[in-house]
Structure 1
């Protein structure tokens, strides 16, 4: 793996993982992740769980860390009011001294539809709503636009001034999505692409579409960060970790592994096998690996963190 590749970890935020733990352990976990040399720390987002809320967690992480990039993988903007969220993200970017990356998505049929209902947001035209929300954020972050916004799904007047983020123009916004339309939108209007295709070949093909779209609007390759969301389990179990992955996917999604591995990226097995799987995506063009540990307890997460750190060091 080349030196221009970053590797980060998704924090364990579910209530089950934190059952019985003291809140101060959260700060120690953030410090441990930074001290182990990881490049980034990520929070996922959902109304179901229960789980620690993503932006609250990242604000706490910003206060006890100095170097590590902080990100959402991925935030569902539809769950929050857009103007208030622009203020929250700008505040987080400011408090973290410009260390924020905002990965966003529109959700998936099924569970995400229930989240939209709970948020009183219509499910139809959700991709237009996502693009409108990001455009509104950027207008507020720039601090130079009109006091109104007119989009396909959002129209607002009397917009307030937004606190200026540390990053000029606002933190980078990455799109988490891997449909043909998502790849087009990632290339033309977002700062990064964060998918989880199940094979390096599909990643490479998708990335080519993203970069072709970027070039078509005059953007350079460097304008769009090619990232990857990957679920990792480092284990010497004789079954390659499939039983543990089965428990994880059923607990997380309610679906068996045989279905999820057709949709998502998994890297499992001994450390050298996981390293080879990650390297395959790097060869396909990925430059920021966002690694989620397939664990259901805080203790198992710590064990996985140490094993992943050794892979990270070997890649440097």
Structure 2
């Protein structure tokens, strides 16, 4: 997809049941194909056990053979919901099926209704969840590299079976979602990319500087960490109309009004020029890979937003 000041633009698949129920989930495959036809650079899926949805890795496995170029990603996968060895095999399999187009953004969950209940459902302690996440990713990478054993604080295997090798040597890039000071440091030290959603571009710029400094301290080049952005997008005739629809969306998705959600997450709302201006501010802050969650409650509205965003950013380099 063309860039706004050098940014690749991708989109989220609307995998929540409320969004595709009227048409059936197989329409998501057509949505994936259309996203590639329009030139978007990536197609991401989110992850949860709260609220029925198509499971993200299953969705990416379905999208892989019907697309050829578009990057496939998770934003963010919650490893705590899955057994780590089996997940490494699944991710390697999706990477193979896609010809090496998989990007895995991961997260550790958040306090409140979107965090602890998921750990309880998975029978995994909430405490030390960030250390558990880092070790799980280290285990994946060890399996992808052909390790015969692994010994950590949370996972220990004296003997590992031969693992499915990813398409790419070393496996798919693993990004981290999160913007706490600890998350920024961990991103710079251990991860291949950063996928936050700060509501202020200035916060993005400041966080990216911390990530890059942490990478340098760890002996890594700052450019080793891909600077990405999760942003909610609604293109409408004006800002007021966009805010009304996005308010309904955030209430349905989070149980929160837009006025509260936009204190936490990034939003680009309004007429096309207003949305472009917001994205440009994040580009100036250093974001280079944008993944847009489209603000529409049903699949027809999602398709409409997909076309509008494509028209806004236009065809470009691939």
TM-score (norm 1): 0.96
Displacement of 1:315 in angstroms is 7.5
- 3-state SS in 1 of match to 2:314: helix
Cα deviation code 1:108-160 (max 9, x no counterpart): 011221011011111000000000000000000011x3x32222322233211
Give the structure 1 partner of residue 119 of structure 2.
116
**Contact 2:4–2:313 (Cα < 8 Å) also in 1:** no
**Contact 1:232–1:266 (Cα < 8 Å) also in 2:** yes
**Contact 2:212–2:222 (Cα < 8 Å) also in 1:** yes
**2:5 counterpart of 1:7:** no
- 3-state SS in 2 of match to 1:212: helix
Please provide the CA RMSD for this pair: 1.4
Give the structure 2 partner of residue 125 of structure 1.
128
Give the 5 Å matches for 1:191-210: 191-210=192-211
**Contact 1:197–1:203 (Cα < 8 Å) also in 2:** yes
Displacement of 1:22 in angstroms is 3.7
Q: Distance in 2 between matches of 1:238 and 1:282?
A: 21
2:61 aligned residue (46, 59, 64): 59
| Unpaired segments ≥5 residues, structure 2 | none
Q: Distance in 1 between matches of 2:123 and 2:145?
A: 28
Q: Distance in 1 between matches of 2:141 and 2:66?
A: 27
Give the 5 Å matches for 1:160-171: 160-171=161-172
Give the structure 2 partner of residue 107 of structure 1.
109
Give the structure 1 partner of residue 235 of structure 2.
234
Q: Distance in 2 between matches of 1:12 and 1:23?
A: 10
**Contact 1:34–1:67 (Cα < 8 Å) also in 2:** yes
Displacement of 1:223 in angstroms is 0.9
Give the structure 2 partner of residue 280 of structure 1.
281
Spell out structure 1 runs of 4+ moving beyond 6 A: none
**Contact 2:38–2:315 (Cα < 8 Å) also in 1:** no
Cα deviation code 1:184-226 (max 9, x no counterpart): 0000100000000001100000000000001111211221100
**Contact 2:193–2:228 (Cα < 8 Å) also in 1:** yes
Q: Distance in 2 between matches of 1:230 and 1:167?
A: 28
| Cα 1:142–1:4 shift into 2, 3 Å | farther
Give the structure 2 partner of residue 219 of structure 1.
220
Give the structure 2 partner of residue 45 of structure 1.
47
TM-score (norm 2): 0.95
Cα deviation code 1:13-70 (max 9, x no counterpart): 0111111214442222111110000000000000011101000000000010001000
2:19 aligned residue (17, 20, 43): 17
Q: Distance in 1 between matches of 2:94 and 2:295?
A: 28
Give the structure 2 partner of residue 81 of structure 1.
83
Q: Which stretch of the first structure deviates more once superposed, 183-192 or 242-251?
A: 242-251
Q: Distance in 2 between matches of 1:179 and 1:118?
A: 25
| Unpaired segments ≥5 residues, structure 1 | none
Q: Distance in 1 between matches of 2:27 and 2:62?
A: 12
